């Protein structure tokens, strides 16, 4: 009996899953981004891994195996903080937007690295088997991987070619747009030229300006002997990205780039009583209007707001409008305003017919998941790219901000309210949900894979760090041209011996 008991214990121990000490670092004060990282880290803790998370968003209730290290920064408030422009941004602003985005990343670098709680962690004797971190606008975080000599899994909420370059994934400007440009996949010569130049500008600025500033800040904390962050970042094993071929442009994927777009979508819950009653009692359905967590829609210029309210008055549908104020001037009777609403639960209600959105990837993903057609009014960042891709895939229409008028809003809504459009949106939703395995299981598998292997450099390509002339075969092309020109010269000379 004792022998059988011992054998049973040994079998149980042998079959138990190995657990790891995992550090998660998410240093951007962006609630929408945290929606993507949060379920992953909680799932890791629920599986028995020891999880430490550095972020601005601690758990409301303590969790087993889960420890929060909370960052605080009162100087930057990004929730419902961006006012709407009176007119659309000029094309020159896309350059400023890129600069602002990276400068904001530098700010978060300084706040995160110099935080007292971070210093306490660095001065401890703790060791980590794996670092899971957000890839976005700085390289500071890779200093933690060097400090703990741990492999890195990156998670990115949007396509940024300087991050995909870390694993050698192609970002060919011939058909892959820069997220800040307002163009689709099929580009004219001038669009390809603009995309190429902008990619080079962004990569150069990121490599030689932002990396320099990141290095200076990190070296103050991690020591002057800290290797170059750009070199450390090339040791990343894997990137989990918030994309899916049904709603983002199709691109080539190296083995180390795994699509998990939609991972933040959880269970649909019962709506608050007042919202549910408003939706249920609408005989013609409901239009849901929200511009995300960053933008204050109540800052709409009066003439823009009136465009929407006048268009809504002409429709039989009711409107749920995320409006960050208690009152709205001359609010139509068919409009309900709320400062905040459970967006997924609203969108998945069967009586919601249209989603008016700015085109942020998280909102787009939720609308596609629920099969709701969209009217997308992009304002910045990747939103125009998202709008064009959704329009091409039949999930909605793109309505540029500069083209807003009562008629354009009304026409766009009438278009997507057509039952034929609803059918397209449902078909897109089916494509989006058709995955080989649940998204959270996919993410956890690959994170544990990297931890089991002690890093996974074999998932990347040899393109990492390769000079652009080699990557583009410019030296080979030049050599071949030289041979061809030499043959032509010799043939021409032999055919004309008197020359």
* Strands of the 318-322 sheet, one edge to the other: 335-338, 318-322, 286-289, 352-357, 374-376, 396-398
Domains contained in the chain, number: 3
Q: Which residue has the tokens 């970042």?
A: 233
Structure tokens at 180: 């800040």
Q: pLDDT, tens digit, for every residue of 69-95?
A: 988 765 555 544 455 555 444 444 666
Task: Please report the pLDDT score of residue 182 as a whole number.
Answer: 60
Same domain, 252 and 162: yes
Same domain, 94 and 241: yes
Report residue 3's pLDDT band, with 50, 70 and 90 as the boundaries: low
* 312 assigned to some structural domain: yes
* Spatial contact of 158 and 361, defined as CB atoms under 8 Å apart: yes
Same domain, 253 and 282: no
Same domain, 87 and 152: yes
* 45 assigned to some structural domain: yes
| Best mean pLDDT range from 78-92, 102-116, 227-241 | 227-241
Q: Which of 131-140, 333-342, 472-481 has the lowest mean pLDDT?
A: 131-140
On the question of pLDDT at 332 being above 60, the answer is: yes
Same domain, 384 and 486: no
* Spatial contact of 241 and 159, defined as CB atoms under 8 Å apart: yes
* 109 assigned to some structural domain: yes
Indicate the average pLDDT of the chain.
85
Same domain, 421 and 444: no
Domain that holds residue 25: 19-261+439-459
Q: pLDDT, tens digit, for every residue of 379-390?
A: 877 788 888 888
Task: Please report the pLDDT score of residue 208 as a whole number.
Answer: 84
Same domain, 75 and 191: yes
* 335 assigned to some structural domain: yes
- % pLDDT > 70, the chain: 90
Top-confidence residue, 349 or 194: 349
Task: Please report the pLDDT score of residue 353 as a whole number.
Answer: 96
Mean pLDDT value across residues 422-445: 93
Mean pLDDT value across residues 282-309: 87
* 11 assigned to some structural domain: no
| Best mean pLDDT range from 19-33, 355-369, 462-476 | 355-369
* 387 assigned to some structural domain: yes
Mean pLDDT value across residues 193-213: 83
Report residue 105's pLDDT band, with 50, 70 and 90 as the boundaries: confident
Cβ burial of 229 (10 Å; 0-12, 13-18, 19+) is: buried
* 424 assigned to some structural domain: yes
Same domain, 426 and 354: yes
Same domain, 358 and 474: no
Task: Please report the pLDDT score of residue 81 as a whole number.
Answer: 47
Report residue 197's pLDDT band, with 50, 70 and 90 as the boundaries: confident
Q: pLDDT, tens digit, for every residue of 356-386?
A: 999 888 899 999 999 999 999 988 777 888 8
* 59 assigned to some structural domain: yes
Mean pLDDT value across residues 326-348: 91
- The enclosing domain of 241 has a CATH number of 3.40.50.2000
Task: Please report the pLDDT score of residue 276 as a whole number.
Answer: 94
Same domain, 39 and 113: yes
Last residue of a domain, one of 389, 416, 433: 433
Structure tokens at 91: 């094309």
Same domain, 388 and 499: no
Task: Please report the pLDDT score of residue 15 as a whole number.
Answer: 40
Task: Please report the pLDDT score of residue 179 as a whole number.
Answer: 64
Same domain, 281 and 385: yes
Report residue 280's pLDDT band, with 50, 70 and 90 as the boundaries: very high
Gap between the Cα atoms of 316 and 287, Å rounded = 10
């Amino acid at each position: 009996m004792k022998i059988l008991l011992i054998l049973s214990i040994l079998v149980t121990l042998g079959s138990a899953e190995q657990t790891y000490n995992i550090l998660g670092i998410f240093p951007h004060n962006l609630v929408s981004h945290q929606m993507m990282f949060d379920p992953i880290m909680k799932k890791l803790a629920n599986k028995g891994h020891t999880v430490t998370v550095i972020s601005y968003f601690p758990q409301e209730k303590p969790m087993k195996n889960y420890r929060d290290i909370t960052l605080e920064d009162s100087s930057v408030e990004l929730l419902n903080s961006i006012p709407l422009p009176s007119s659309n941004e000029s094309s020159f602003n896309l350059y400023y937007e890129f600069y602002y985005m990276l400068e904001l990343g530098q700010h978060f670098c300084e706040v995160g690295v110099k935080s007292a709680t971070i210093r306490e962690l660095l001065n401890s004797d703790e060791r980590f088997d794996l670092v899971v971190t957000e890839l976005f606008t700085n390289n500071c975080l890779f200093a933690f991987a060097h400090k703990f000599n741990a492999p890195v899994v990156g998670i990115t909420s949007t396509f940024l070619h300087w991050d995909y370059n870390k694993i050698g994934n192609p970002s060919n400007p011939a058909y892959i747009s820069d997220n800040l440009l307002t163009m689709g996949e099929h580009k004219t010569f001038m669009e390809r030229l603009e995309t190429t130049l902008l990619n080079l500008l962004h990569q150069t600025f990121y490599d030689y300006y932002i990396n320099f500033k990141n290095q200076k800040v990190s070296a103050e904390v991690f020591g002057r002997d800290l290797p170059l962050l750009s070199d450390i970042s090339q040791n990343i094993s894997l990137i989990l990205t918030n994309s899916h071929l049904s709603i983002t442009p199709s691109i080539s994927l190296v083995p180390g780039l795994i699509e998990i777009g939609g991972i933040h979508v959880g269970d649909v819950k019962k709506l608050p009583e007042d919202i549910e009653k408003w939706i249920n009692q609408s005989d013609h359905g409901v239009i849901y209007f929200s511009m995300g967590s960053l933008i204050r829609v109540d800052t709409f210029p009066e003439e823009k707001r009136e465009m929407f309210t006048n268009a809504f008055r002409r429709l039989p549908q009711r409107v749920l409008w995320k409006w960050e104020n208690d009152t709205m001037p001359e609010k139509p009777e068919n409009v309900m305003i709320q400062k905040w609403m459970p967006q997924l639960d609203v969108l998945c209600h069967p009586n919601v017919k249209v989603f008016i959105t700015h085109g942020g990837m998280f909102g787009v993903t939720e609308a596609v998941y629920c099969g709701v057609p969209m009217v997308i009014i992009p304002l910045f960042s990747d939103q125009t790219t998202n709008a064009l891709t959704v329009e091409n895939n039949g999930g909605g229409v793109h309505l540029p901000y500069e083209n807003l008028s009562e008629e354009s809003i009304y026409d766009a809504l009438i278009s997507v309210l057509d039952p034929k459009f609803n059918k397209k949106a449902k078909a897109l939703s089916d494509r989006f949900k058709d995955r080989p395995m649940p998204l959270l299981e996919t993410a956890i598998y690959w994170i544990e894979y990297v931890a089991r292997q002690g890093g996974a450099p074999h998932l990347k390509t040899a393109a990492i760090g390769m000079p652009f002339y080699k990557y583009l075969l410019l030296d080979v092309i030049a050599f071949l041209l030289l041979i061809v020109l030499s043959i032509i010269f010799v043939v021409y000379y032999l055919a004309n011996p008197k020359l």
